[in-house]
Amino acid sequence: MTVRAGREILALPGPTNMPDEVLQAMHRPALDIYSREMIDLTDGLHRDLSNLFATRNKSYIYISNGHGAWEGALSNVLSRGDKVLVLESGRFAVSWGNAARLMGAAVEVLKGDWRRAVRPDEVEARLRQDRAHEIKAILVAQVDTASGVVNDIEEIGKAIRASGHPALYMVDAVASLGCMPFKMDQWGIDVAMSGSQKGLMTPPGLGFVAASDRAQAVHRHADMRMPYWDWTEREGTEHYRRYAGTAPVHLLFALRKAIDMLLDEGLEHVFLRHRLLGEAVRRAVAVWAEGQVLGFNIDEVCERSDTVTTVTVAHGHDPGRLQRYCTEKCGVVLGTGIGDLQGKAFRIAHMGHVNAAMILGTLGVVEVGLNALQVPHGKGGLEAAVSYLGESVSA
């Protein structure tokens, strides 16, 4: 027997739940890609993406997922043999670095830990050692979606500047843009990238990159440039060059609607909503952890992301069983543990188009699963989340 009729809730960190408005925005014919309407759509999206990144600089829209945008970002500023410093705090920056290595860069990983954020002082110390300025770029993820950590991108930026090192600061905001503050210019970021299918509530298939003046200057003599990704190729006067070919019109219709919804809600409010719902999840997990089987992957309270919580599962209990139960019996799809946490964790995403009912429903379903599978856990996690929201969301 199951209790899963009705809409399935995606509680995995991407693709995320899409609003009906976003789905409906795509239910129309394509438009003339040479029309004024198309040009206005592109110009408006470029403007709004730059505003989301909080930069006065240009942004670029690729027909790609996040992996594509990684390559787009790297290929525009790197030359073969350039050294890249990857700041480890889970899986994603390391994977970005692996792409750089395969493209011909020399990659060094600043050893981190899957259970904590990048330490800005360690970054500064490493950069100070590099007196010859061999390191050309620094890669980090604002939120590592595997470990559930949030890195302090502002503080890392300060550490880079304090070291006096000229390397480009490149930040992955795939699991954070549109969910929490991101200030490209203020934080001294040279290249920022993101994708459509997480906080931005849009189907997978769009990748975004923004580039500072410093990055544009390096770009001019970079030798990894490729025609599709190349920023300069996208600057021509002909509109279709913005997409290096046919525009992905339906994805753009969806993105337009999604960004309109975020702006209607107000970005500050969107960020607050993520904080509140993220904390509700953490309150529940903290109670479950009393049973000694479940726990937070990220040790430090202030390093836990407002977009995804990675929950470790100890003593031989199988997170896969819990995930299968939640999906098959209750219609809630949890995220799986990936990388080092495969088979040892599950993830609860709380990013994008989420409200209290979806989050409390997800937490309730996890408790149903823990009970049904007799996984020891502290009782009252859902109640703790309910109490927290009742105290925090004022009437």
Ligand X SMILES: *Cc1c(COP(=O)(O)O)cnc(C)c1O
Which residues of this chain interact with ligand X, rule CB under 6 A?
14, 65-67, 92, 141, 143, 145, 172, 174-175, 195, 204
- DSSP bridge pairs for 210: 59, 192
In this structure, the chain runs to a length of: 395
Judged by beta carbon, residue 110 or residue 206, the one nearer ligand X is: 206
Judged by beta carbon, residue 141 or residue 277, the one nearer ligand X is: 141
Judged by beta carbon, residue 204 or residue 331, the one nearer ligand X is: 204
How far is CA 227 from each of CA 41, 120, 130, 224, 230, rounded to the nearest angstrom? 23, 35, 32, 10, 5
Upper half-sphere CA count for residue 308 (Cβ side, 13 Å): 32
User: Would you call the peptide bond into 203 cis, given omega within 30 degrees of 0 as the criterion?
Assistant: no
The one-character DSSP state at 197 is: S
Judged by beta carbon, residue 66 or residue 352, the one nearer ligand X is: 66
Nearest distance from residue 374's CB to ligand X, in Å? 32
Pairing of strands 135-141, 83-87: parallel
Nearest distance from residue 71's CB to ligand X, in Å? 10
Nearest distance from residue 62's CB to ligand X, in Å? 11
Nearest distance from residue 9's CB to ligand X, in Å? 19
Nearest distance from residue 140's CB to ligand X, in Å? 10
Structure tokens belonging to residue 209: 């990159």
Nearest distance from residue 337's CB to ligand X, in Å? 14
Judged by beta carbon, residue 99 or residue 127, the one nearer ligand X is: 99
Nearest distance from residue 352's CB to ligand X, in Å? 12
Residue nearest to ligand X (CB): 66
Distance CA 61, CA 259 (A): 14
Q: Write the DSSP assignment of 27-94 as a string of letters.
A: SS----TTSHHHHHHHHHHHHHHHHHHT-SS-EEEEES-HHHHHHHHHHHH--TT-EEEEE-SSSHHH
Structure tokens belonging to residue 308: 């995804």
Judged by beta carbon, residue 197 or residue 212, the one nearer ligand X is: 197
Q: Are 370 and 381 in contact, with CB atoms under 8 Å apart?
A: no
- Give me the residue label for tokens 């309910």: 386
Judged by beta carbon, residue 74 or residue 384, the one nearer ligand X is: 74
